[in-house]
Amino acid sequence: MASSAAPPPDPSTSPSKPPVAIVCVGMAGSGKTTFTHRLVSHLHNRAAAATPPTAPPYVLNLDPAVRSVPFESNVDIRDSVNYKEVMKQYNLGPNGGILTSLNLFATKVDQVMGILEKRCLPQPPALSTTAPASTPTPDPTLQTPEHIILDTPGQIEVFVWSASGSILLSALSTSFPTVLAYIIDTPRTTQNTATFMSNMLYAISILYKTRLPMILVFNKTDVKDETEAVGWMRDFETFQAAVREEEEGEREGGIGGGGGYMGGLLNSMSLVLEEFYAHLSVVGVSAATGDGIEEFLEAVEGKREEFDKEFRPGMDDRKAELKKEREQADLGRMMGDLGVSSKAKGTGKYSKRPAPKHEVEEAETVSEAEELEEERRREREDGDGWVERDEDEPVGGEDDEDEGGKEGLQARYAQALGKSGGAADMASEYIRRTQG
Ligand SMILES: Nc1nc2c(ncn2[C@@H]2O[C@H](COP(=O)(O)OP(=O)(O)OP(=O)(O)O)[C@@H](O)[C@H]2O)c(=O)[nH]1
C-alpha cells in the first residue's frame, strides 16, 4: 500500500492544530487492540522519521480487563482501577466489573482531561529571564502530538452505552476534535447479509448516540478485502442481489431462514441506510500487515475537518455547561450503575458467601484495593489514585491509609473530582445509602 501521504507538519513552524482524538470501538474480537497497536507504532515511526522529529501519539488504554497491552500507553485505566478487585468487592461478573471500573475511572475525568490538555495542547511559553539559546532542532518531547489514541473495552456496549462512556467522550470532544474508528471484522461481517446489516445497525446506533464523526474501518483485509462490504454499502441493488442469492441458496438447501420476512427487512433497511452511509468514511485496513493505515489517517484528517465544521461550533460556549452536566446528571446515572452492582451483593448470579475476615481486611473498598496494588504502581501514584504512566504528576494527594470503608471511598471521590461537595458527595451519599 502506498505510503505517499504528506509528511507530518512541523509543529515548530506550522500553525499549531490541536491533536485529533481517535477512539477505537468495535465488537469483541474485531481487532481494536491489534489496530491500536499498529496505529501507534506507525505514528511512532512517522514521528521519528520526520525532519526534525515530531512528537509521538499520546495513547490511553481504557480497557480495565485486558491482561497485557501490546503498545506503550501514556495513561492506563489499570493503573487507576483494579478490575479484579472491583469484581470481588462488588460481587460482579466480568461485564459489571468493566462497567464499574469505567465508572470509577470516569469520576477522575477532570484530572484525565487536565493531563491531556497539559500534554497535548500547545502551552504558552514559559517566561524566562535568560536569552533564548539557539536550538535548531526542536525537542520532540516538548512538542504536542498530532494524535491521541484510545483503545476501549471489548464489550462495546459497556463503553458506548454507559454513563461513564458518555462522560469520557463528551469531555474529550469538548477539548479535542474527536473521531470514532468503528473497527469491523471484515471476514466475519461479510459472511452473510444479515450479519453485515447487524453490524451496520450497531454502527448507526453508536453514531447517533455519540454524535461524533465516524470512520468504518474494515479490518483483517489480509484475510478478506473490503470490496464486497463497500459494494453492499454503496449500491443497495448489489446488497439486495446478495440477499436474493442467499435466500435461493437457503431454499435449495432446505433451510427455512426468515421465510421471506428477513429478506424483505434487509432490503428495506438497505434503502434506509443509504443516508447513513453517506455520513461515513470507509477504509479497509489490515492491522496485521499495516496495509491501509495511511489511508485511515487521511480519513481521520477529513473527519477532523468535519468535526471542526459541524461539531465544534458552539462547543466552547457549552464547555462549562457540559462540565456541570457531567458532574450532576451523568454521575447520578453512573452511581445508579453502582447501585445495581451493590444490589447484586449476596443475591445475584455472582453472589458468594461473606468474605472471610482476612479477605475483607485485605481490601474493603476500591480505594483500599488500589492501595494494595503493586509497589510499582504505588510509586507512580501520588496519592489520589490517578497516575500518568510516563511521568509523575504533581497532584496534591493525601495519605489515606487510615481511611477505610465509605469515608475512604468518599475521600477518593472528593479527591478524584478535585473538590469536596457536589458530585463527589452525591456519589458517596449514594454508596452510603445503597451499601450501608
Ligand atoms: N488476520 C488478521 N487477524 C487480525 C487482524 N487484526 C486482529 N486480528 C486477530 O483478531 C483477534 C482479535 O484481535 P484483538 O486485537 O484482540 O481484538 P479486540 O477487538 O481488541 O478484542 P477484545 O478486546 O477482546 O474485544 C486476534 O487473534 C488478532 O490476532 C488483522 O488485521 N488480520
In terms of Cβ atoms closer than 10 Å to its own Cβ (0-12, 13-18, 19+), residue 95 is: middle
Distance separating alpha carbons of residues 83 and 99, to the nearest angstrom: 10
What HEC string does 51-80 produce? CCCCCCCEEEECCCCCCCCCCCCCEEHHHH
Residue pair 59/73 in contact (Cβ under 8 Å)? The answer is yes
Nearest CA to ligand 1 atom 3: 220
Mean pLDDT, residues 43-64 taken together = 91
Number of Cβ within a 10 Å radius of residue 214: 24
397 lies in some domain: no
- Side chain identity at residue 300, one-letter code: V
Grid cell in block for residue 374: 503493586
Q: How far is the CA of 31 from the centre of ligand 1 (A)?
A: 3
Summarised one tens digit per residue, pLDDT across range 253-277 is 655 555 566 777 787 878 878 878 8
Q: Which domain holds residue 200?
A: 20-121+141-231+276-316
Angle between helices 193-210 and 236-252 (to 10 degrees): 140
Least confident stretch, 17-31, 137-151, 176-190:
137-151
335 lies in some domain: no
Distances (CA, A) of 8 to 3, 14, 31, 247, 396: 12, 10, 26, 49, 37
339 lies in some domain: no
Distances (CA, A) of 102 to 31, 93, 337, 411: 21, 14, 11, 18
Q: How far is the CA of 215 from the centre of ligand 1 (A)?
A: 18
How many helices (H) and strands (E) the chain has is answered by 20, 7
342 lies in some domain: no
Least confident stretch, 20-24, 47-51, 342-346, 366-370:
342-346
44 lies in some domain: yes
Residue pair 60/74 in contact (Cβ under 8 Å)? The answer is yes
pLDDT band, residue 227 (cuts 50/70/90)? very high
Q: Is 136 helix (H, G, I), strand (E, B) or coil?
A: coil
151 lies in some domain: yes
Using alpha carbons, select from 212, 152, 210 the residue that is nearest to residue 30.
Answer: 152
Mutate which of 24, 34, 37, 223 for ligand 1? The one with the most ligand atoms within 8 Å of its CB, which is 34
- Kindly report the CATH number assigned to the domain that includes residue 155: 3.40.50.300
Q: Which atom of ligand 1 is closest in space to residue 285's alpha carbon?
A: 31
Angle between helices 227-234 and 193-210 (to 10 degrees): 70
Using alpha carbons, select from 52, 299, 64, 333 the residue that is nearest to residue 181.
Answer: 299
45 lies in some domain: yes
166 lies in some domain: yes
User: Which pLDDT score is estimated for 269?
Assistant: 79
Whether this model's ipTM surpasses 0.85 comes out as: yes
Least confident stretch, 160-169, 179-188, 311-320:
311-320
Residue with grid cell 512541523, as numbered in its chain:
10
User: Which pLDDT score is estimated for 398?
Assistant: 35
Residue with grid cell 497535548, as numbered in its chain:
120
Q: Which atom of ligand 1 is closest in space to residue 26's alpha carbon?
A: 19
Grid cell in block for residue 343: 444490589
Using alpha carbons, select from 385, 360, 292, 285 the residue that is nearest to residue 81.
Answer: 385
Counting the structural domains of the chain, the total is 1
Q: What is the pTM of this model?
A: 0.73
List the 214-219 sheet strands across, edge first.
75-76, 58-61, 147-151, 20-26, 178-185, 214-219, 281-284
Mean pLDDT, residues 293-297 taken together = 97
Mean pLDDT, residues 234-252 taken together = 82
Q: Which atom of ligand 1 is closest in space to residue 154's alpha carbon?
A: 25
Distance separating alpha carbons of residues 371 and 401, to the nearest angstrom: 8
What helix, strand, coil percent values describe the chain, rounded to 5? 55, 10, 40
Mean pLDDT, residues 220-231 taken together = 95
Cβ contacts of 168 within 8 Å, gap of 6 or more: 62, 102, 105, 106, 109, 112
Ligand 1, CB within 6 Å, residue ranges: 26, 28-34, 154, 219-220, 222-223, 286-288
Grid cell in block for residue 28: 469483541
Q: Which atom of ligand 1 is closest in space to residue 153's alpha carbon?
A: 23
Q: Identify any residues that bridge with 182 across adjacent strands, giving them in sequence order.
A: 25, 216
Mean pLDDT, residues 124-144 taken together = 56
Residue 67 has pLDDT above 60, yes or no: yes
Percentage of the chain exceeding pLDDT 90: 28
DSSP letters of 290-330?
-TTHHHHHHHHHHHHHHIIIIISTTHHHHHHHHHHHIIIII
Using alpha carbons, select from 157, 238, 161, 165 the residue that is nearest to residue 196.
Answer: 238
Mean pLDDT, residues 40-65 taken together = 91
